[in-house]
Amino acid sequence: MIWKYLKTLFGRQSVNTTKPIESHEVCRRFLFDGKLVKRNQVKHQAFAPSKKTGNVSIFLKDRFLSEEDYQLTRKTVSNKRGRQCKAEGEFIANAVDKVRNEVGYFLREGQFVLELDETDFPHHANLDKWPSDKPSQKQLQQALAAKVSLINL
């Protein structure tokens, strides 16, 4: 147990956490509600910004040093939420740019961006700075959901 902790601790230190998110990075969204999935497709509401934080929480899968580290983080997040992670939605970081180009004509500079936020967890990012009007939010969510692959757990 101690070894696992030290390994995680030193592993984290060896990673440059300020490294900007690159377009090819794999992003994973934890899905805690089975109703967010239908016919092996992730529904748009999986990417609805949280009422509490105003953003969508994402993990950068390939930045974890091992699958074990990733699963440990998922378990920690699940415990914090008090709900089991039912599935994951996976997309490549540049999908955010594709969505912006596809349907985001209404976005202002700096809106709808993927930003690193490792305040609570390493290798964590937020899909942040959403437009305030709900129709635009829905359209962005639908366009992103269409580019997401379902990962069954």
Task: Provide the H-helix boundaries in the chain.
Answer: 2-13, 67-81, 94-103, 134-145
Q: Binding another protein by CB under 8 A: which of 28, 29, 44, 124?
A: 44
Q: Binding another protein by CB under 8 A: which of 85, 116, 146, 151?
A: 146
Q: Is 149 in the site for another protein (CB under 8 A)?
A: no
Residues 6+ apart with CB under 8 A from 66: 11
Would you state the structure tokens that stand for residue 56, as one six-digit string? 């969508």
Angle between helix axes 134-145 and 94-103 (nearest 10 degrees) is 130
Segment 89-118, which members bind another protein (CB under 8 A)? Answer: 102-103, 105-106
Binding site for another protein (CB under 8 A): 35, 38-39, 41, 43-45, 48-52, 81-83, 102-103, 105-106, 133-136, 138-139, 142-143, 145-147
